[in-house]
Structure 1
Amino acid sequence: MEINNKSLQFFLLCSLTLLSVATCHPVQTSPFGVGFYRRTCPPAEDIIRNAVNKFISKNPGLGAGLLRLHFHDCFVRGCDASVLLDTLPGGPAAEKDHPANNPSLRGFEIIDAAKAILERVCPRTVSCADILAFAARDSVYKLGNIWYEVPAGRRDGNTSLANDIPGNLPPPFFTATQNAAIFKSKGFSADEMVTLSGAHSIGISHCSSFASRLYPPTVDPTLNTAYAKTLKRICPPQTANGTGSVDPTVNQDPLTPNRLDNLYYVDVISNKGLLTSDQTMLTTKSTAKAVLDNARYGSTWAKKFAAAMVKMGKVGVLTGKKGQIRLNCHFRN
């Protein structure tokens, strides 16, 4: 057998460890994959999961916040943690300060808590983008008992611009057809769009995101009458045009608001989809069938959701020498 220099170096390295009776494994060279931190920071995933569980145990709504953070990150510039960057004084507004994100995005403090520990245990090793991807997965498991392995090795981007939001993040008043077009541009099918919309099984929405469906001149006749009355008690007319001094919130799923499950699709079938983007999934043949199937087969939806989350976490990732490992998720190094 021919032995090249790399093989010889590896053989010598393994030989030196025999006294400790350790099993020798080659150092991971893949720039992106499951178990990326197995050698460089073994406790990384446990540290992130512990932070997620600690915060969500006190406030389950933060789980939905982390899931939304991950989505709003990946669909703009790719999964590069650009959504975590702060706007710099005198500079252009960052993604987090766009009206689509501010003040509704939540969960930043969880990412910060995990990052602080990781920088003490494994300095300059775990990216903010990977922390966000792991935290979203751990939220899904905590609130829905849905598990999936997360490929890692993402690096953090250096750019975050609020002007990148339009055209990349679908607003709540988009129809399912408009939503599907944005998802298609990111490489997702209409069925995957419906599947990922199941994330609306948890979390809250501000009245301003849907109140136009309740009041003239755009009253939505498809909205369940009893549900509309309930929403009107919470959301005054001024929230529909943005003139109110307060903007109340409503659970996105009235059935199981703190449980990630397929009952969200039952809401939609019952004309209790909170957002236009939710309810209009019944208006096209393909998306309507996906809604019905997801409502009927919960375990199948859960598997599809896990697969779609893995796929979303691969959108536009930076690996290798691209980007950086931020020391503070709010700022470039």
Structure 2
Amino acid sequence: PPYNLSPPPFPLLLDFPYTLQYFFQFFFHTQRSVSSLSPPPSSVRKQVTAPFLSLSLSLTMAIPLLFFLFLSSLSSIPLSQSKLTLDYYAKTCPKFEQIIQETVTAKQLSNPTTAAGTLRLFFHDCMVEGCDASVLISSNSFNKAERDDDINESLPGDAFDLIIRAKTALELTCPGIVSCADILALSTRNLVKMVGGPYYKVRLGRKDGFESHDSAVEKNIARANTSMNVIIDMFKSKGFTVQEMVALTGGGHTIGFSHCKEFSSRLFNHSKTSQYDRGLNPKFAEALRKVCSNYLKDHAMSVFNDVMTPNKFDNMYFQNLFRGLGILATDNELITHPATRPISELFAKDQNAFFQAFAHSMEKLSVLGVKTGRKGEVRHRCDAFNSIKT
């Protein structure tokens, strides 16, 4: 019977088994077509034999070339990413998604800032050595882990607690099966959706990493006063465009919060001519100065990045930037840097454009530097390696 050669679903290279099957289906169909070609009747055979042989030979030689080009295109996709699938736990832990959803729902209802904290935790994990749950590891006498670097000191405890709860529930149902990295990835997506954000696919099959060092954090996570040029280069080195960087920043800040110490330099003794940064709305600056007046003693004091709709995932954060309501120095640079201002303007005007860009960027972030096979493990506890690492 004739082969069904309708176009396969895209992106092709993210579904390796299907793509390979599709290629060989095309390969054998072409081979059969070539082998079934027959020369014209004998009366004209001499005149057309050479062109016919040339056509047949060209098709036959083209097939290995096509196969080579096919394999070459696959080389641009890391093998670890090709092993991730949407239904990775369908047979080994069929209640995986149900348990995750129940756990995140309960936690978010009791602590409404869980979504923001978990999204931030996921970002800080993926940007440092990939999405391998290395940020969850606790330090020991042999090693200072990522989570204890000063940049990560502000990561909220509720986010860590959520992952511990989910891991505990999963270990009771299907012990030793689900990685902490996958728990963090899916929990983040579900929480983003719960607070009004866009849905995006999360491929599963990550393994938990073997390394976690505080020294790896500084060069991979931007600080509140990092210049926009440095941030752009930081994301570019990991394969992200400027638009993807802005989308991820907006997603983290529309439901996020920052501690006063992260933006105190914009509020107190900013310059010789002004106590506060003139990029801030004057009334907003005065309000922040009052809230953060005791920040040197109360290190936990924090403010929502989106003061209008702090618990709703929307594009209000970008609208606020143009009103002088951006808290961090990097917030202000999003509307002053020539590479990021047009994108910020677009997202402020068009929430759908922001949502689409964020969903795409999160899918891309979620497979950054993932470990599979023997390059990782499934931890018994999310805060500790299965064997002591020095």
Residue 285 of structure 2 is matched in structure 1 by: 228
Alpha-carbon distance between aligned partners in 2 of 1:171 and 1:324, rounded to the nearest angstrom: 31
Please report how far the alpha carbon of residue 61 of structure 1 lies from its aligned counterpart in structure 2 after TM superposition.
0.4
- Does structure 2 retain, via aligned residues, the 8 Å contact 1:208–1:247? no
> Which stretch shifts more, 138-147 or 162-171?
138-147
Alpha-carbon distance between aligned partners in 2 of 1:139 and 1:247, rounded to the nearest angstrom: 23
Residue 152 of structure 2 aligns with an amino acid whose one-letter code is N
Matched, 1:101 2:152: yes
Which string of whole-angstrom CA distances, capped at 9 and with x for unpartnered residues, describes residues 141-180 of structure 1? 0112421110111000111111111110001111322211
Of 240, 243, 246, the match for 1:194: 246
Residue 215 of structure 2 is matched in structure 1 by: 163
Could you say if the C-alpha distance between residues 323 and 292 of structure 1 is closer, same or farther in structure 2, counting changes exceeding 3 Å? Answer: same
Alpha-carbon distance between aligned partners in 2 of 1:221 and 1:137, rounded to the nearest angstrom: 36
Residue 385 of structure 2 is matched in structure 1 by: 332
- Does structure 2 retain, via aligned residues, the 8 Å contact 1:175–1:281? no
Which string of whole-angstrom CA distances, capped at 9 and with x for unpartnered residues, describes residues 106-131 of structure 1? 31111011111111111111100000
Matched, 1:301 2:354: yes
Residue 292 of structure 2 aligns with an amino acid whose one-letter code is C
Residue 96 of structure 2 is matched in structure 1 by: 44
Aligned CA-pair RMSD: 1.4
Q: Which runs of 5+ in 1 are unaligned?
A: 1-29
Which string of whole-angstrom CA distances, capped at 9 and with x for unpartnered residues, describes residues 5-46 of structure 1? xxxxxxxxxxxxxxxxxxxxxxxxx62122211222121112
Please report how far the alpha carbon of residue 204 of structure 1 lies from its aligned counterpart in structure 2 after TM superposition.
1.7
The two structures have a TM-score, normalised by structure 1, of 0.87
Alpha-carbon distance between aligned partners in 2 of 1:247 and 1:126, rounded to the nearest angstrom: 33
How many residues align? The count is 299
Alpha-carbon distance between aligned partners in 2 of 1:158 and 1:313, rounded to the nearest angstrom: 18
The two structures have a TM-score, normalised by structure 2, of 0.74
Identity of aligned pairs, percent? 38
Alpha-carbon distance between aligned partners in 1 of 2:246 and 2:288, rounded to the nearest angstrom: 24
Which string of whole-angstrom CA distances, capped at 9 and with x for unpartnered residues, describes residues 42-94 of structure 1? 21112111111110011110110100010000001110000000111x22211
Of 118, 123, 128, the match for 2:170: 118
Matched, 1:206 2:259: yes
Which string of whole-angstrom CA distances, capped at 9 and with x for unpartnered residues, describes residues 275-329 of structure 1? 1111101122231010010011101211111111110011100012211000110
What secondary structure, in the 3-state scheme, does the structure 1 residue paired with 2:224 have? coil
What secondary structure, in the 3-state scheme, does the structure 1 residue paired with 2:198 have? coil
Of 97, 106, 112, the match for 1:54: 106
Q: Which runs of 5+ in 2 are unaligned?
A: 1-81
Residue 327 of structure 2 aligns with an amino acid whose one-letter code is L
Residue 268 of structure 1 is matched in structure 2 by: 321
Matched, 1:321 2:378: no
Structure with greater Cα Rg? 2
